[in-house]
Structure 1
Amino acid sequence: MTDLMSQLPQPIVERMGRMSGMAMRSIIALMDEQPDTYAALVERIGTWDDDPGRTPYPRSRYEFALQEALRIVGDAMTAISERSPLPNEPVAEGARDYVERFAPAQFRDEALAKLDAIPPGHEPVDFGGEGGEGVGPVDFVVATAVAGWLVSGAGGRMATQENIRLMLLRQARSAESTATGAPEREQINEVSDDAALALLADLYDEDYAGLIPPDPKRRGPWEWDMLAVLKTHLLETPAEATTDEQRQTLKEKLLTVLQAAAATQKPKPTVRPVGKRNQPKRKPRRKR
């Protein structure tokens, strides 16, 4: 992919990077329930080509951003379907909820109508509409609403949402770095486990951070999610620049992860030893 991008004109590379980054951040905004951020991104995708000095773009302005959103939809659907086929009805209903709560008002009714037209059952669906020159903001809203619902758990069908958010943020930052032409050695798209654990120790203490096994193979989903929360923060904000308010927010997110983990723990049933039968103790008889 990098070799292909290097062969394209810089204006095209910049545009692809910006559109991909905004598509990923749009899905993150839906995951984080931030309608203002989401609306601003939907609008910005449509106005980016109007900035002074831009090379005229001959195709639909939303086409590439839509393709990137649909890529996330496809990956999520594939991951879910590997465990159990996902019918169209819950997908449409879940996306409908996201459109009703977060979509810009001017696109809401048309987006809902498109979701209502999705056939039931397991019939293949193109969540991007007809495609081509007819692609517009409504198609992007529908696709990102579907993606947002899927990556936010899909009604309990997907776990480790924090890891998914981290993955989306990595993709966004990588695309944005490509857009600016930053050399790979200068890009910061990864955060080490050690850096995340150091932040955890700073938030609490060394003993608390030691609860997460250093061996990745011994970590459970909730431990990966805790690290993902910390890494997501460090990708955007250096540890030394973290404010008290951000520290409190991180603690609240980590607590949410722990509460979710505790809710999934099932109590172990009491098992009696096989072959033994507990007999009631008999009182000794009184001597006459």
Structure 2
Amino acid sequence: MNMNDVMGQLPRPIAERMGRMSGMAMRAIIALIDEEPDTFAALVERVGSWDDDPGRAAYPMPRYEFATKEAARIVNDAFTAIEERRPLPNEVVTEGARGIVERLTPEEYRAEALAKLSEFPSGREPMDLSGGEDGGAVSFVITTAAAAWLCGGAGGRMATLENIRLMLLQQARQAESVATGAPEREQVNKISDADALALLGDLYDEDYALLIPSPRERGPWEWDMLAVLKTHLLETPADATTPEQCQELKAKLLTILQAAAATQTKRPKPTVRPVGKRVQPKRRPKRKR
């Protein structure tokens, strides 16, 4: 059962609110990944004020609770993906979130968020970033910051970063479609490989699209290149793409290619024998017959 089916069984006001809160949580994480503090601040404020819009029924639960849980879901998914390969101690995540809170979050929540981050347990003990039912805006800030750090690379532990960002945007779009009640046939929540490759051909030439191999043969860089193109097409149709946006897309694609080239040209350092006096192995005395 997909999200549309689940939400379709709920009363319309509840489905609308859940869709809006989920969408804003995803976009808040994206704003932090993109280092857009003004956008993030506006989303934090909007999550808290949405229920005050004229005509809305009074909401009996804490306003930030569901949006924070949606951000926590992303945190948990990232934790699971990373820990399949190696352990991820709590303090590494909280330290990563701390840097984002210090640089990109609204000043009015910053001091309290930093204080709470210092209280979380270290090691691999259970850690609830959401702050419980009464976490409020501060817990939303903490949880989205942790999600942004994890989805933004987690200190080199996560690959295909553009693909992760695309996943967040797709989830935001799907939640927003549910909130508006748009029929599933009218929703645009995913972009096909063919459409992304067509845009790549428009940016350069048709032969350039042939450089992207089939899905089974793609590496992280090809997936990220397609993700950049799909992310753009989710928000802007190909025929509405401006020359400035084309240049921005080319710059992003070039950055991915340069990173790929740098990775592929790295070679392991040769083992160097330490310089010094060579020690001859001791000879065993011959056994007397």
TM-score (norm 1): 0.90
Match of 1:152 in 2: 152
Amino acid at match of 2:71: A
What secondary structure sits across from 1:125 in the alignment?
Answer: coil
Amino acid at match of 1:137: A
2:50 to 48, 51, 62: 48
Report matched runs for 1:200-215 at 5 Å: 200-213=200-213, 215=214
Distance 1:47 1:268, change over 3 A: closer
- Give CA-to-partner distance per residue, 1:147-169, whole Å, 9 cap, x none: 00000000000000100111011
Amino acid at match of 2:194: D
CA distance in 1 between partners of 2:243 and 2:175 (Å): 30
Match of 1:260 in 2: 259
1:59 to 55, 58, 61: 61
* Contact 2:24-2:172 at 8 Å conserved across structures: yes
Match of 1:251 in 2: 250
What secondary structure sits across from 1:198 in the alignment?
Answer: helix
Amino acid at match of 1:3: D
Q: CA deviation at 1:200?
A: 0.6
Percent identity over the alignment is 72
Distance 1:8 1:82, change over 3 A: same
CA distance in 2 between partners of 1:107 and 1:6 (Å): 36
CA distance in 1 between partners of 2:198 and 2:7 (Å): 36
- Residue 7, structure 1, aligned to residue 21, structure 2: no
* Contact 2:4-2:184 at 8 Å conserved across structures: no
Amino acid at match of 1:6: G
Aligned pair count reads 268
CA distance in 2 between partners of 1:218 and 1:117 (Å): 45
Q: CA deviation at 1:267?
A: 4.8
Q: CA deviation at 1:239?
A: 0.5
Q: CA deviation at 1:4?
A: 3.2
Q: Which range moved further: 254-263 or 51-60? A: 254-263
CA distance in 2 between partners of 1:56 and 1:66 (Å): 19
- Give CA-to-partner distance per residue, 1:193-238, whole Å, 9 cap, x none: 111111111111122221111x210111100000000000000000
Match of 2:181 in 1: 181
Q: CA deviation at 1:2?
A: 3.5
CA RMSD of aligned residues (A): 1.5
What secondary structure sits across from 2:47 in the alignment?
Answer: helix
What secondary structure sits across from 1:210 in the alignment?
Answer: helix
CA distance in 2 between partners of 1:43 and 1:183 (Å): 29
Q: CA deviation at 1:268?
A: 6.0
Distance 1:202 1:127, change over 3 A: same
CA distance in 1 between partners of 2:231 and 2:266 (Å): 32
Report matched runs for 1:77-92 at 5 Å: 77-92=79-94
Report matched runs for 1:33-182 at 5 Å: 33-129=35-131, 131-132=132-133, 134-182=134-182
CA distance in 1 between partners of 2:248 and 2:4 (Å): 36
Distance 1:3 1:242, change over 3 A: closer
Structure 2: gaps spanning 5 or more residues: 269-289
Match of 2:286 in 1: none
Match of 1:277 in 2: none
Match of 2:225 in 1: 226
Structure 1: gaps spanning 5 or more residues: 270-288
Match of 1:238 in 2: 237
CA distance in 2 between partners of 1:81 and 1:38 (Å): 28
CA distance in 1 between partners of 2:194 and 2:215 (Å): 12
1:19 to 21, 29, 44: 21
Q: Which range moved further: 82-91 or 200-209? A: 200-209
CA distance in 2 between partners of 1:128 and 1:220 (Å): 35
What secondary structure sits across from 1:124 in the alignment?
Answer: coil
Q: CA deviation at 1:9?
A: 1.0
Q: Which range moved further: 200-209 or 34-43? A: 200-209
What secondary structure sits across from 1:265 in the alignment?
Answer: helix
Match of 1:284 in 2: none
